């Protein structure tokens, strides 16, 4: 794994959290120090490190864990989320669209452009695209041989000209052939530094090629100085993304990744070796997850997801307002409340509801009751769930026998349903004036038990 050492230190840190008894300020401070040490050792810029750990600290001190997560678990989640943001946040893939899709690589000498050209050719060939390589490096004598060799090794068509002395002419020379290909990877020449000469060359090529992606190739072994390079290229050459190469061979990878992430351009791939298969799409979540021990993090995120999502709650709120409400909804709603702890969170998402001050105990769902109701509902027929009003005493008896739940409990469920339905009706007719409605119920919410 790349950045193995950093991964190990971070894993140790998380382990410490897991083993601690409380989450308190002392633990948070210790955690922050550990993370700082680990990142500084991976050559991450001091200022970036302090910004990151300050964010983690503030969140850890202020935020309350959502229902379903313990304080410790939530602390681990905060560290994970902030590290993901630190290396770029959400993944941005290079999606092939239009034909031929033109990817142009640029960057300094030795950054890994030509090698990466081959890797990308292989990446897209494996995904079923017809790929060709165009070699436009006219500055180094051996460059054309190298690109020829790279193209042959991955088995794709290549276009180059060893005599022409200008990249635009080389590109134009084959222009009629490009239409046959889905993806064109265009390798360009580098310089020792980003010179005006290089900027001009890139602009001239760009004007002719009209690349869909202009990708800067940066070597990870330059560490945190990658920030300056990435920013300069971002500003002068209007790049769409970055590929960080040589992540395998250096302890400075953390510095390079975080430096690129703050440059304003997205990291799209990372190079992890010299072979043509050593290329990964860069996915911050997956990358950090693996570093911290994927299984653990996944389980944790799963757990957090189980607590109801805001969208679900909102959906429920909307359906509720429309008056589409049957026993299944009631049950789902109660489950949602159970997951969230109490109704107030749903209430916050329903317009007008949040102003009401509802006593907490009234809103909490009683676990035992909910279970019984679930068994009862399992024994109901579809038409009964959808229209509980048809449940007469004969049906009640049947449901009770089928579920093993006493008739009195099922009656209570039905009563709950009727009250909720009444509330829904009032909602429909009376959306604006909730307090008046509350008065009719004597200040009690029938839904919340």
Interface residues with Mg ion (CB under 5 A) are: 113-114
Q: Minimum Å distance from CB 121 to ligand GDP?
A: 13
Q: Minimum Å distance from CB 114 to Mg ion?
A: 3
- Is 341 an interacting residue with respect to ligand GDP (CB under 6 A)? no
Number of residues that this document lists for the chain: 449
- Is 148 an interacting residue with respect to ligand GDP (CB under 6 A)? no
User: Parallel, antiparallel, or unpaired for β 157-159 and 213-219?
Assistant: unpaired
- CA-CA distances (angstroms) from residue 299 to 61, 274, 294, 304, 337? 23, 34, 8, 9, 22
Sole binder of ligand GDP in the list 65, 66, 68, 110 (CB under 6 A)? 110
* Number of residues engaging ligand GDP in binding (CB under 6 A): 19
Sole binder of ligand GDP in the list 9, 13, 115, 206 (CB under 6 A)? 115
Our separate counts of H helices and E strands in the chain read 21, 8
> Are 17 and 72 spatial neighbours (Cβ–Cβ below 8 Å)?
yes
Q: Name the residue number minimizing CB distance to Mg ion.
A: 114
Phi, then psi, of 241 in degrees rounded to 5? -175, 180
Q: Minimum Å distance from CB 198 to ligand GDP?
A: 12
Sole binder of ligand GDP in the list 7, 88, 135, 190 (CB under 6 A)? 190
Judged by beta carbon distances under 5 to 8 A according to partner kind, the member of ligand GDP, Mg ion, none in contact with residue 249 is ligand GDP
Per CB under 6 A, the segment of 14-22, 71-79, 243-251, 357-365 that binds ligand GDP is: 243-251
Q: What is the DSSP string of 119-141?
A: HHHHHHHHTT--EEEEE---SST
x/- track of binding to ligand GDP for residues 149-188 (CB under 6 A): ----------------------------------------
- CA-CA distances (angstroms) from residue 434 to 4, 357, 358, 416, 438? 58, 11, 12, 20, 6
Q: Minimum Å distance from CB 7 to ligand GDP?
A: 18
Residue 160 three-state SS = coil
CA 309 to chain centre: 15
Best CA proximity match to 210, nearest among 180, 173, 172:
172
**Positions 248 through 287 that interact with ligand GDP (CB under 6 A):** 248-249, 271-274, 278
Interacting residues toward ligand GDP by CB under 6 A: 107, 109-115, 190, 217, 245-246, 248-249, 271-274, 278
């Amino acid at each position: 794994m790349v950045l193995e050492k950093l991964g190990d230190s971070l894993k140790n840190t998380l382990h410490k959290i897991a083993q601690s008894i409380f989450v308190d300020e002392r633990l948070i401070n210790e955690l922050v120090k550990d993370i700082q040490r680990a990142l500084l050792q991976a050559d991450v810029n001091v200022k970036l490190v302090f910004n990151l750990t300050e964010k983690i600290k503030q969140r850890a001190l202020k935020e309350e864990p959502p229902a379903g997560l313990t304080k410790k678990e939530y602390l681990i989640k905060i560290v994970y989320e902030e590290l993901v943001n630190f290396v770029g946040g959400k993944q941005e893939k290079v999606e092939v669209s239009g034909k031929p899709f033109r990817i142009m690589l640029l960057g300094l000498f030795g950054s890994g452009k030509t090698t990466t050209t081959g890797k990308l050719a292989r990446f897209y060939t494996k995904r079923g695209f017809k790929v060709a390589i165009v070699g436009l490096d006219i500055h180094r004598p051996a460059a054309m041989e190298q690109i020829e060799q790279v193209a042959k090794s991955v088995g794709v068509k290549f276009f180059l000209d060893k005599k022409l002395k200008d990249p635009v002419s080389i590109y134009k020379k084959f222009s009629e052939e490009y239409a046959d290909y889905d993806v064109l990877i265009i390798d360009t020449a580098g310089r020792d530094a980003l010179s005006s000469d290089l900027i001009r060359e890139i602009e001239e090529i760009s004007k002719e090629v009209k690349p869909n992606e202009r990708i800067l190739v940066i070597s990870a072994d330059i560490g945190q100085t990658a920030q300056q390079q990435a920013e300069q290229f971002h500003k002068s050459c209007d790049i769409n993304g970055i590929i960080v190469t040589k992540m395998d061979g250096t302890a400075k990878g953390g510095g390079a990744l975080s430096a690129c992430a703050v440059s304003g351009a997205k990291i799209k791939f990372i190079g992890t070796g010299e072979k043509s298969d050593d290329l990964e799409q860069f996915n911050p979540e997956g990358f950090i997850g693996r570093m911290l021990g994927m299984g653990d993090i996944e389980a944790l995120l799963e757990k957090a997801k189980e607590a109801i999502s805001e969208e679900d709650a909102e959906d429920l709120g909307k359906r509720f307002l429309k008056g589409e409400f049957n026993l299944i909804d009631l049950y789902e709603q109660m489950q949602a409340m159970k997951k969230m702890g109490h109704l107030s969170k749903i209430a916050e998402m329903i317009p007008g509801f949040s102003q009401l001050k509802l006593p907490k105990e009234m809103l909490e769902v009683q676990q035992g009751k909910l279970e019984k109701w679930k068994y009862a509902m399992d024994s109901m027929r579809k038409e009964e769930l959808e229209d509980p009003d048809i449940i007469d005493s004969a049906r009640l008896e049947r449901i009770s026998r089928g579920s093993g739940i006493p008739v009195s409990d099922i009656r209570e469920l039905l009563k709950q349903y009727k009250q909720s339905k009444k509330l829904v009706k009032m909602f429909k007719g009376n959306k604006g004036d909730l307090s008046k409605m509350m008065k009719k119920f004597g200040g009690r919410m029938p839904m919340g038990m």
